[in-house]
Amino acid sequence: MPLLIKNEKNSASGITKVAAGKIATLKVGYHSQGLSDWHYSFGNNDVAQVQNFTLNMKTNFKDINFPDNTLSPSEKHETASGWDLKWSYKNLVSGYQIAMEMPEKMQPGPLAGKISFFAPVSLFFFFFIMFIITTMRGIELHPMNYFSWPPPSFPFIYYWLTWWTTCPFTRPSRYLRSSRFFLVVSYLRLVIGIQFATREAAIAQFVYLVLFSYAFFLKGFTGLAITIGSVVTLFVVMQVTGRIHWAQKLAVTTPEPASQLS
């Protein structure tokens, strides 16, 4: 008997007759564009039961991801171009589906929005480290010097550069990142000196501004990377400043009055 297909909204269904004791094989295929994920449901009910179920999936991409509340494959083998996945169950009772999220090209707009939203966190670490370094080395900086550093005083420049640097392999992004370095280094060389600006300030800026932004490219590990960086920073600061007497270090010294002429 031929299979009678009936098209419905977002689905296709069919009915056929199979003789007793016979085996029917159903092959389904389709072409589509623009799918962000693919789902296979065992039924319309919340909990479904299936027996002798096998689903083979071959992907032509390496970046596979299974959404939350879905079944992971029972077998997984990496191929030259992707993965060979298999779901096999003798008897399964589950309310979960089989699903696969397709890899998407990185969109600079949403990524830049996340980086800009968490930019105050990276700026806080950057200024905290710079405060610790200048205090330990006895470098006196007025609050206006901190305020005049390019990142906080020109936030629109920082966010604009962040938006353009979300593509790490383009020539303009390299120029823009270099200009962000130049803003801080050129200012601190006038305030403190060229050695401090090109060494301590440049390294701190690279770690807490550049690497912090690159952590958002690590899909699924951004929070872990930032947490590890924060713990390492706290550990280093605690070890370096553990023996410092802050009351003496931050004590305000008043100049002695000039001697009066008799």
Quick: pLDDT tens for 152-187: 444 445 545 554 555 544 444 444 455 566 777 888
pLDDT at 5: 54
CA 57, 62, 63: angle at the middle one, nearest 5?
Answer: 100
pLDDT of 3-28, one tens digit each?
555 556 666 677 788 888 888 887 77
Question: Global pTM?
Answer: 0.54
**Whole-angstrom distance, CA of residue 260 vs CA of residue 262:** 6
40, 98 Cβ separation under 8 angstroms:
yes
pLDDT band at 85 (very low <50, low <70, confident <90, very high): very high
Tokens of 12: 């296709």
**Whole-angstrom distance, CA of residue 65 vs CA of residue 79:** 16
